[in-house]
Chains A and B, each alone.
Chain A
Amino acid sequence: MLLIPCPFCGPRDESEFGCGGEAHIARPTDTDRLSDADWAAYLFMRKNPKGVHLERWVHRLGCRRWFNLARSTVSHEILAVYKMGDPPPASVAGQEARRT
């Protein structure tokens, strides 16, 4: 089990949280002109890295707030927690870029 540091409530057990999948997926703005392939890419295509993954989590049984979390899919180490709408911290963003 993970001990997830909720940015509002503090460290809590993984069972209190829900994972919302990959973070920073922006909905396309020019939807009228979007091709089926682009729609499919937006809706279905997700990263599946071996390494740092930026994810959205919700503290389901606690404060019910969403936040972003950078987690290593290899070691489960939680590298950063940051608020919704914020860019990933520089330390993590570098690692994100390196794996692609």
Chain B
Amino acid sequence: MVEPYLRQSALVHRGLSRAAAGAMSGAGIVLSERPFRAMVNLRGEASDAGFLSAVRAAAGVELPLQPNTTQRAAPVTALWLGPDEWLITAPAGEERVLVPALRASFGERHAAVIDLTESRTVIAVSGAHARDLLAKGCTLDLHPRAFPVGACAQTGLARAGALLHLVDEAPTFEITILRSFADYMWVWLADAAQEYGVALRTE
């Protein structure tokens, strides 16, 4: 567990809160970091009704069983990662409650709970040109027909593995990325977004 007073976001060295003071109007892309989000990786049998109800009891969210979809029960979101793998996200600090609750709920059941909170960060890409920006580095079809609000996908973005999640109609994509890739991804996004006009926002 990282002590709160030592905790630094993956992009702290970029001084985003100072940079974000600039003008917002006319920007086609708004970038921000959403740091410290609680992330818990969950493995278990989707065909086991007891496993699904144990997750419901501990995290208060239904696990999505359809590929590339999410389920949200504010403030918790469950993202489909694979046929027996999910990512549970929650507001900062919640991992301290979520992880023990899930472990207790599973008991002897064949399931795994792994706290990934400190290993990843979230970069939010918002604005009218968000799809155009991601299309420069991603092979997925991000058209609303193929990738509606609530869809998620693990894919490659600018040659790095990333988890995309479309959270609203703005559109706002949340890019969950390994901490060690965060700086690379931020620089890539900021550079690729130049032609649309970039604004930064603090969360």
Contacts and interface: CB of A to CB of B under 8 A. Distances in A.
B83 A16 contact: no
B33 to A, nearest CB: 22
Interface in B150-164: 153-156, 161
A12 B153 CA distance: 10
A12 B155 CA distance: 9
B161 A61 contact: yes
Interface residues of A, number: 13
A57 to B, nearest CB: 15
B129 to A, nearest CB: 22
Interface of B: 67-68, 81-83, 85, 139-140, 153-156, 161
Interface of A: 8-10, 12-13, 15-16, 60-65
Given A13-B156, A61-B154, A62-B155, 6 more contacts: A8-B67, A9-B154, A12-B140, A16-B156, A62-B154, A64-B82
17 contacts: A8-B67, A8-B82, A8-B83, A9-B68, A9-B154, A13-B139, A15-B139, A15-B156, A61-B154, A61-B155, A62-B153, A62-B154, A62-B155, A63-B82, A63-B83, A63-B85, A63-B154
